[in-house]
Structure 1
Amino acid sequence: MSQPLTLFWPVFALRSDGRTVVNNKGTPVRNGPTESQLDRTPNEQGQSDFYRLIEKEDAKHVDWRKKLGGMLLREVGRKEDEDKWQQCILWDFPEGYRLYEHIKSKTNGETKNHSGGGHDRQDAYLYGYPKGPRKRFRSPVEFFPHLLWMLTDESSDYSNCTCRICSPNQIEVEKPAQPARPADITSATAIGARTISAPNGPVPVSRTPMPMPIRRPSTDTPVAQSPVTKPATPVTPLTAQSSPQIKAPPRLEPTPLPQLRTQDQQVDSQYNKFVNRPGEVVWFRRQGGDAFGLGLITRRWITDNGSNQAMYSIQPLSYPGFTPAEEHVDAGLSNVKPWLAWSVPSCTYEYLRQNPHLTYCQVDWKYMASGRMGDGHAEVDASILMAKAVDITYTPFERIKTVPSNGSEDRYWNGIYYGAEKIWRGEPVRLRLGMGSDVLVVTEIIEKTSPTGTNPLQTSSKVELRGDVYSYATLPAPNPKAPPALPSDNHLPLRMREDMRWRNQILLAAASGISYWKLISPNQRIAIEDVKGRWYETSILFQREFFEAVQNKGNVNGSWMNARGDATGMGRGPGVLCTDRLAAFSGAIPDQLRIVDGLAPPKDHEKPSGSMQEIELSTGAPAESNFSVDDFMNFEDPSLPFGENNFI
Structure 2
Amino acid sequence: MASRKAKDIKAADNEFQYANATPIQIWRSDGTEMPSEYSQYEKVEEGAKPIIEWQNKLGQALAAELMAGATGLYFLQDFPSHYHLRWYQAKEDKKKHQAKHYYLFGYPEEPSASKARKYYRSPNHFLPHLLWLIGESQDRGDCALAKEEADIRPFLAFSIPQINAVLLDFKGKALAEINWQGLQDRFGTQADASRREGLAIEATKLAATRVDQCYSTFNPIQEVVQNYDVFGGIFLGAEKICAGEAVRIQLAREQQEHAAEKGLPVVMVVKRILISRLDGTLVFEGSLWKLQHTPLTQQPRASNQPQLPTAMLGEKEFRDGILQSRGWSVEWVLANQNMSVDESVIRGRFYETRRLTPILNPAKFEEMLHQKHVDDIQTLLNNRGDSNSPRVGRVLNRAQAVAGAVPAGVFHSLGPDVIEA
Q: TM class by shorter-chain length?
A: 0.5 to 0.7
1:506 is aligned to 2:357: no
Matching of residue 466 in structure 1 with residue 285 in structure 2:
yes
Aligned runs of 1:536-547 on 2, under 5 Å?
Answer: 536-543=351-358, 544=362, 545-547=364-366
**Alpha-carbon shift at residue 538 of structure 1 (Å):** 1.2
Q: Distance in 1 between matches of 2:124 and 2:299?
A: 38
1:359 aligns with 2:178: no
Tell me which of 384, 389, 399 is aligned to 1:564. 384
Partner of 1:414: 232
SS of corresponding position for 1:565: coil
Say whether 1:442 aligns with 2:263.
no
Shift of 1:431: 0.2
- Helix, strand or coil at the partner of 2:330: strand
Report the structure, 1 or 2, having the larger helix content.
2
Q: CA deviation at 1:397?
A: 0.8
Q: CA deviation at 1:396?
A: 0.9
| Residue number among 532, 548, 552 corresponding to 2:347 in the alignment | 532
Answering whether residue 198 of structure 2 is matched by residue 384 of structure 1, we say no
- Trace 1:66-81 onto structure 2 (pairs within 5 A): none
Query: SS state of the match for residue 542, structure 1?
Result: helix
Q: Distance in 1 between matches of 2:285 and 2:225?
A: 18
Offset, 1:580? 1.6
Cα gap change, 1:311/1:516 in structure 2, threshold over 3 Å: closer, same or farther? farther
What's the offset of the Cα at 1:413? 0.8
Contact 1:417 1:423 in 2 (8 A): yes
Letter in 2 for 1:438: V
**Contact 1:471–1:520, Cα closer than 8 Å, also in 2:** yes
Q: TM-score, normalised by structure 2?
A: 0.55
1:594 match: secondary structure: coil
1:463–1:586 Cα change, 3 Å = same
The structure-2 alpha-carbon separation of the partners of 1:385 and 1:330, relative to structure 1 and needing over 3 Å to count, comes to closer
Distance in 1 of aligned mates of 2:389 and 2:330: 34
2:150 aligned counterpart, secondary structure? coil
SS at match of 1:590: coil
- Cα 1:518–1:402, aligned 2, differ >3 Å: closer, same or farther? closer
- 8 Å Cα contact 2:172/2:389 also seen in 1: no
Q: What per-residue deviation string (whole Å, max 9, x for no partner) do you get for residues 564-618 of structure 1?
A: 1112267xx7x5110121012222222312121448xxxxxxxxxxxxxxxxxxx
* Aligned-residue offset at 1:424: 0.3
1:584 to 380, 401, 406: 401
Cα offsets for 1:504-555 (capped at 9, x unmatched): 101223x443222211001211212210111111111214445545739674
Counterpart selection for 1:475 from 287, 294, 302:
294
Aligned residue for 1:334, secondary structure, equals: helix
- Choose from 318, 323, 335 the match for 2:151: 335
Compared with structure 1, are the counterparts of its residues 554 and 490 closer, same or farther at alpha carbon in structure 2 (3 Å cutoff)? closer
CA gap 1:360/1:447 in 2 versus in 1, 3 angstroms: closer
**Alpha-carbon distance between aligned partners in 1 of 2:246 and 2:374, rounded to the nearest angstrom:** 24
- Superposition deviation, residue 404 in structure 1: 6.4
Match in the other structure for 1:430: 248
Q: In the alignment, residue 410 of structure 2 is paired with which amino acid?
A: L
Structure 2 gaps of 5+ residues are 1-63, 66-100, 104-120, 257-262, 417-421
Distance 1:463 1:420, change over 3 A: same
Q: What is the CA-CA distance between 1:430 and the residue it aligns to?
A: 0.7
Contact 2:246 2:270 in 1 (8 A): yes
Helix, strand or coil for the counterpart of 2:379? coil
Q: Distance in 2 between matches of 1:312 and 1:397?
A: 29
Q: CA deviation at 1:419?
A: 0.5
For the 8 Å contact 1:542–1:560, the answer to whether it is kept is no
RCO comparison, higher one (Cα < 8 Å, 6+)? 2
Deviation at 1:305, TM superposition (A): 5.9
Q: Does the CA contact (< 8 Å) of 1:329 and 1:335 recur in 2?
A: no
SS at 1:423 equivalent: strand
> TM-score normalized by structure 1?
0.37
Aligned-residue offset at 1:390: 1.1
Q: Quick one: distance in 2 between partners of 1:584 and 1:324?
A: 25
Larger C-alpha radius of gyration, 1 or 2? 1
Query: Contact 1:360/1:382 (CA < 8 Å) preserved in 2?
Result: no
Report Cα offsets for 1:162-186 as digits up to 9, x if no partner.
xxxxxxxxxxxxxxxxxxxxxxxxx
**Percentage identity across paired residues of the two chains:** 23
CA shift at 1:501, angstroms? 0.5
Q: Report if the CA contact (8 A) 2:160-2:208 is conserved.
A: no
Q: What is the CA distance between 1:311 and its match in structure 2?
A: 4.5
Taking the aligned partners of 1:311 and 1:322, their CA distance within structure 2 comes to 19
Report the 3-state secondary structure (helix = DSSP H, G, I; strand = E; otherwise coil) of the residue aligned with 2:409: coil
Match of 1:521 among 298, 321, 336: 336
Runs of 5+ consecutive residues of structure 1 not aligned to the other structure = 1-297, 451-459, 600-648
Pair 1:358–1:598, CA change in 2 (3 A): closer
CA–CA separation in structure 2 for the residues paired with 1:309 and 1:469: 41
Instruction: Report the residue type matching 2:155 in the other structure.
Output: W
Contact kept? 1:546, 1:556, Cα under 8 Å = no
